[in-house]
Structure 1
Amino acid sequence: MKQNPILHNSNDEDDNPLGMLTNLFDIAMVFAVALMVALTTHFSMSEIFSDDDFTIVKNPGTDNMEIITREGEKINRYTPSDTESPTSGNRGKRVGTAYQLENGEIIYIPE
């Protein structure tokens, strides 16, 4: 009995039900990398991946404000508070307010 070549091809691989998962994993990895690159460029955070020193202020002007600096390989986190702790070098207090004008000039007003 002769087999119909349209219905059965001996060169095809066996149907593997898990074969589709490898393709889904690849697609998910490409999507995750693209999302990470898009978020990094949207929030202008490319300096995090460079060798340059930088300073980031999280939640400026609020009680839970945090200042993150990187100097070389060292990353420092400072949390402003009303009371200074002599044992912790990572505490500070608010000493004034800085405003940036439309022309780019920054004015500091001490409290």
Structure 2
Amino acid sequence: MRRKRYHRPGILYEEDDQNPLTGVANLFDIAMVFSVALMIALVMSFQLPELLSPTADITIVKNPGQPDMKIIVKEGQNIEVLNMTDQIGGGTGEALGTAYQLADGRVVYVPDSGNDTGS
């Protein structure tokens, strides 16, 4: 006669230990926290915390003076990227005057004497 033996679970036995996917949810949470921290560290390393502010207006010029120059304009929540082409920031024209930057940071525009701008 065969007797069935009752196997009593031990103290360390838990039902969750047999499911290998229980740790995946915790790994996903850790990965999300790590990615958010990495993005914040990246913004802070470029010293641009204004990009995170919803009210700050900022303009960034990438590769100034180069043919692949880009202008990034953030006004409030709207972000616009302008790729430099002949239609934007280029083309032909004539000089109207000269701009000078003073020692205190102000910019003064002086029109050419040949052009009468009315001001």
Structure with more strand by fraction: 1
Say if 1:55 and 1:67, in contact at 8 Å, map to a contact too. yes
Aligned residue number for residue 63 of structure 1? 67
- Per the normalisation by structure 1, the TM-score is 0.62
Matched, 1:80 2:66: no
RMSD: 3.6
- Matched residues, number: 94
Name stretches of at least 5 consecutive residues in structure 1 with no aligned partner: 86-90
Deviation for aligned residue 1:106? 8.6
Aligned residue number for residue 117 of structure 2? none
Deviation for aligned residue 1:16? 1.1
Name stretches of at least 5 consecutive residues in structure 2 with no aligned partner: 96-100, 108-119
Aligned residue number for residue 92 of structure 1? 89
Q: Considering only CA atoms, is the larger Rg found in Structure 1 or Structure 2?
A: 2
- Per the normalisation by structure 2, the TM-score is 0.59
1:68 counterpart SS class: strand
Correspondence for 1:13 among 12, 15, 28: 15
2:15 counterpart SS class: coil
